[in-house]
Structure 1
Amino acid sequence: MMWQAVIVDDERLARMELRALLQSHPEVAVVGEASTLDGAIERIRLTGANLVFLDIQLKGEFGFDLLARLSKDVAVVFVTAFDAYAVQAFEVQALDYLLKPVAPARLASTLTNLARRGGLDIRTMPDPADEDAVASPPERLALTARLFLRLDERMGFLAVAQIRAVLADGDRAIVVTLDGRRWQVRKPLREWVLRLPEEQFLQIHRGALVNLNEVQRVDEWSHGSFHVHLRGESTPMVMSRRFASRVRARLG
């Protein structure tokens, strides 16, 4: 598959360096450059580009803001001098995260991954049931991490430590925060199970993941299941018999 790429960076020299590196990869054609987000949108629209190399900190702009303006068939690779945004990049499902100065071998690895994914919706996470996903599970988030993702219908930051519970909602999820608010996010529960710190979060039901610090008490209920009472929640959550067995095995 031939990739039509636009390089978005407010430093001309950085654009030139990346363009030079990409010359060694005939599967990628650089069809445009931009120094602003509006310029990037225009170049993508005019060229039909399906790949963007995107700097995060532009003059007066934040690279993450571009993602809400892109269609899902446009792959995004972040290229930045700052490693602090790696977690956020993963959460918005960018293809990769390259640190400046970009190493040729690292760029080659990114493009190999891009070729492997081919024409798939590149901002759709692999199903954990997939062999590759099982073989290489994503790195877990730290409790101190902050995520940048779509909350309801807007992009925003979410601190992992502020999550009280995550509830299944079809192919999405509802994140309950410590202030009692409920946010719909475009990530299924299975992804949160794989990513949230397991010493802090516990799946108690096929449809519920809870923050252990927020558990006030657990009451026996019926047929080996339990009611889990969370701080700030008037209705208890059910811990099913099957998951109760897993909890005993894990926590003793």
Structure 2
Amino acid sequence: MKSTLYKSLLIIGATGGLLLGGCSTPLSQKTDELGISTDGAYHGEGKIYFDQLTKADTLINYSFGPNPLEEQSHEVKIPLRVLGDKSEQARSYKVTIVKDKTTAEAGKHFTPLKESYQFRAGEYTDTLRIELLRSELSAEVEEPVQLTIKLEGTTDLQVAFEKQNQYTITFNNYLAIPSPWIYLGPYYLGDYHTLKYIKLLEAYDHDENKFWADENFGAKFAEWMLNIKNVRDYFLAHPELEVPPIPDPSAYLTFVE
């Protein structure tokens, strides 16, 4: 019965239904040999896990493509949680690469992992930070590289859930030709070029949805065309970039200098 209760509590904790580590019950309260106290809280040895509500939350897809060229790295923040009581001291844990599920290369596509990490003192939650690198990702390749990691136990913290102990990040540097470009390009944008598209997105927080919003072809059409004109002027001033020209927006609107 005790074993069944213990397994059930761990399963609930893994799916976010019960935050077993977030209990303030003192260790002096009576517990059984499995670390389960009379109020149902876990007080055994510290155990660490990826703090996700569902299995789908352990997959992150990221693209550098739409972002400014100055952005050469991106930090992925992965939430962690521990079972058991808080510790007054920082506790070590390890993160390793699942090699048969990883195509990304350390030092080339992401900053190499540390030998060990520290889970902060006095807390039930912490954040693992993984830095992705852009420079070696081709802007012409759509297929993302993949990095899959897992937690490994130490004398400070054991792994809580062996079957839910992987986290995958897929990422690329690809910016696909948006479908509206196919029919609007000849009139407003000219031939597609990745650098041109990135520059056009700057005025829209590098958000493709904002750039192609319906209002830009209605109430905000003049503003949209002015942004296109500014990008056209930029590339006219930088012919060394060899970006295909943008048609002159003044054919559609009169701009006041």
- TM-score class, shorter: under 0.3
Higher relative contact order (CA 8 A, sep 6+): 2
Q: Normalising to structure 1: TM-score of the pair?
A: 0.28
- The structure that has the greater radius of gyration is 2
